[in-house]
């Protein structure tokens, strides 16, 4: 399967995001013909600054625009879809529920309906979900059989999108699979409201990192390049029995508290003299969540290539290259 992606027509939504830009970079390297959906022009994005836009076909539009999605898949004769586009920030969802639901829920059914209309073209669809789709459960880690019961706006949007995706499989046999990952991190993430980018930038500037919560929230932090390889592997198995119509958890199964992550960054940057500022202001977030990835290991023979620590080394190196080492900040 080494040449699986060569000359395949692939459509990527959310291509300017952390996962999307890394996905596009990998697909281009594998000689796929990549078409992306681009809503906003962000000059500082990793996709733009990395020169990837010169190697892809660009469709300008948004997930809420159903005719644009249908046109893109039909005219570019797409056979593989990675639906990575979404409003992904919990705080943004809390401030603007309608826009989050429009993007994450309506956007998902718009895309799936376009794929259904072009079913003679589309051979596989991978829909990016999140561990947030499971909601709050006392029993951890989450398996794929854990009920989807999101409570807060972002979590509900992902629960709904998952159910809609499976509806298209069971009703129309659309060749879909759903991925649920932990918190992604890695080179190219310019959203400094997220814990890891924000902490690295603060420390490089010699400032104490700021923690919005009380620091005890537990998550599974997953290196973005491992996520890309997981998505590609899953897509390569579609529409095989045991993968089509299924959800898969992906993560490194190394749950960490917020303060553990901050401490790891301070140690890696040799700035343990900086004391985190704990605001304890976070609301409407799940206190503890992490994943069981047994299904991916057994059915796909998948495992991550990076530990959290190894991924953090690469991530810090990238931010140093972008922001400097802090001596001139």
> Rounded distance, CA 64 to CA 75, Å?
19
Tokens of 298: 């057994």
Among the options 76, 134, 142, 154, which is catalytic? Answer: 154
Burial of 310 (0-12, 13-18, 19+ CB in 10 A): middle
Look at residue 211 in the predicted model and tell me its pLDDT.
95
Tokens of 34: 């990549």
Confidence of residue 306 (pLDDT cuts 50, 70, 90): very high
Look at residue 46 in the predicted model and tell me its pLDDT.
80
Between vectors from CA 235 to CA 294 and to CA 29, what angle results, nearest 5°?
115
| Mean pLDDT, all residues of the chain | 94
Q: How far is CA 96 from CA 100, 106, 153, in A?
A: 7, 15, 9
**Contact (CB, 8 A) for 29 and 56:** no
Lowest-confidence range among 32-46, 63-77, 147-161, 236-250?
A: 32-46
> Rounded distance, CA 165 to CA 168, Å?
5
Nearby residues of 328 by Cβ (< 8 Å), 6 or more positions away: none
* pLDDT above 90 (res 178): yes
Confidence of residue 327 (pLDDT cuts 50, 70, 90): very low
Look at residue 48 in the predicted model and tell me its pLDDT.
80
> Rounded distance, CA 81 to CA 306, Å?
26
Look at residue 80 in the predicted model and tell me its pLDDT.
98
Tokens of 104: 């994450």
DSSP 3-state assignment of 46? helix
Tokens of 140: 């951890």
208-220 average pLDDT score: 95
Burial of 89 (0-12, 13-18, 19+ CB in 10 A): middle
Look at residue 326 in the predicted model and tell me its pLDDT.
55
Q: How far is CA 189 from CA 10, 16, 305, in A?
A: 23, 10, 20
Confidence of residue 329 (pLDDT cuts 50, 70, 90): very low
Concerning whether 319 is annotated as a catalytic residue, the answer is: no
Residue ranges of the alpha helices (H) in the chain?
Answer: 18-29, 46-49, 66-75, 90-95, 97-101, 107-117, 153-172, 195-204, 224-237, 258-268, 294-299, 308-323
| Listed residue (249, 256, 229) closest to 297, CA to CA | 249
* pLDDT above 60 (res 307): yes
Between vectors from CA 93 to CA 263 and to CA 228, what angle results, nearest 5°?
60
Confidence of residue 328 (pLDDT cuts 50, 70, 90): very low
Q: Which domains does the chain have, with CATH numbers?
A: 9-184+222-250 (3.40.50.720), 186-218+254-288+307-323 (3.90.25.10)
Look at residue 2 in the predicted model and tell me its pLDDT.
63
Query: How many percent of the chain have pLDDT more than 90?
Result: 86
- HSE-CB of 67 using CA atoms within 13 angstroms: 0
Question: How many of the other CB atoms lie within 10 Å of CB of 94?
Answer: 15
| Listed residue (55, 20, 26) closest to 40, CA to CA | 20
> Rounded distance, CA 222 to CA 124, Å?
24
**Contact (CB, 8 A) for 115 and 68:** no
Summarised one tens digit per residue, pLDDT across range 87-127 is 877 778 888 899 999 999 999 999 999 999 999 999 999 99
Lowest-confidence range among 47-51, 140-144, 242-246, 290-294?
A: 47-51
């Amino acid at each position: 399967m080494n040449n699986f992606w060569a000359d395949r027509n692939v459509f990527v939504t959310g291509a300017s995001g952390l996962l999307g830009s890394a996905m596009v970079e990998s697909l281009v390297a594998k000689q796929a013909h990549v078409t992306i959906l681009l809503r906003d022009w962000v000059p500082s994005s990793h996709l733009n600054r990395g020169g990837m836009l010169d190697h892809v076909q660009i469709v300008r539009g948004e997930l809420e625009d159903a005719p644009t999605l249908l046109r893109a898949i039909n005219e570019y004769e797409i056979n593989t879809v990675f639906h990575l586009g979404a409003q992904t920030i919990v705080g943004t969802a809390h401030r603007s529920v309608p826009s989050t639901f429009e993007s994450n829920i309506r956007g998902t059914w718009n895309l799936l309906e376009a794929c259904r209309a072009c079913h003679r073209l589309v051979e596989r669809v991978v829909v990016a979900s999140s561990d947030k789709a499971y909601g709050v459960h006392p029993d951890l880690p989450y398996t794929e059989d854990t009920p989807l019961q999101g409570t807060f706006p972002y979590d509900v949007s992902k629960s709904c999108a998952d159910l809609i995706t499976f509806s298209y499989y069971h009703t129309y046999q659309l060749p879909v699979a759903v991925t649920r990952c932990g918190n992604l991190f890695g080179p190219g993430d310019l959203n400094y409201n997220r814990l890891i980018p924000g902490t690295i930038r603060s420390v490089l500037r010699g400032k104490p990192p700021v923690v919005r919560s009380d620091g005890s929230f537990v998550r599974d932090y997953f290196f973005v390049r491992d996520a890309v390889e997981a998505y590609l592997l899953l897509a390569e198995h579609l529409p095989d029995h045991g993968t089509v119509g299924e959800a898969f958890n992906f993560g490194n199964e190394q749950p960490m508290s917020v303060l553990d992550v901050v401490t790891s960054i301070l140690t890696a940057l040799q700035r343990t003299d900086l004391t985190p500022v704990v605001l304890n202001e976070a609301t409407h977030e799940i206190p503890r969540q992490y994943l069981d990835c047994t299904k991916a290991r057994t059915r796909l023979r998948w495992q991550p290539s990076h530990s959290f620590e190894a991924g953090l080394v690469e991530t810090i190196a990238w931010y140093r290259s972008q922001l400097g080492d802090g001596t001139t900040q």
